Amino acid sequence: MADQEDECEVGYRRPPKHSQFKPGQSGNPTGRPKTKTFEDEVMDALEGQVIVNENGRRRAISKRRAGAIQLVNRYASGDLRAAKMVLEIARAQEARHQGASDEPSALSPEDRMVLEVMLDQIRRASGQPNPEEESDG
């Protein structure tokens, strides 16, 4: 009779038999939830959609694309910080493409002149000396 009482007794460190884990059964079958890094959260946020009005029409585009459009628009309006960022991105992109093909990029003389003027403006704004002026002296 004492054995039956011991088996049925429920209390501190003696859970009911029906609620105990069965042998070979995990206490957390789904496991710990995966955590996301800050970079993962940023990338997820960039892939989110935003509604924009273009030419009087509403359109859904990714936040990444909306940011790129705004950056290029600031660059086109003469913002030097935006110009520096756009030119760095363009250089990196060209370097990636030149790695695939060793052909030099085909820029017209007018395009080269515009880029040189813009780079000169960026250098002056950031206080960097012009490398062409240093090599002359």
90, 106: one domain: yes
pTM: 0.49
Region label for 31, one of left (φ > 0), alpha (ψ between -120 and 50) or beta (otherwise) = left
85, 123: one domain: yes
Question: Distances in Å between the alpha carbon of 22 and those of 7, 12, 101?
Answer: 16, 19, 63
Domain span holding position 121? 80-127
Task: State both tokens at 110.
Answer: 């007018």
48, 64: one domain: yes
69, 94: one domain: no
Give how many domains the chain has, as a whole number. 2
Q: Does some domain include residue 132?
A: no
Q: Does some domain include residue 123?
A: yes
Tens digit of pLDDT per residue, the chain (137 long)? 455 555 668 899 888 988 888 888 878 888 888 899 999 999 999 999 999 998 999 999 999 999 999 999 999 998 999 999 999 999 999 888 877 655 556 778 888 888 888 888 888 887 776 666 655 54
Q: Does some domain include residue 115?
A: yes
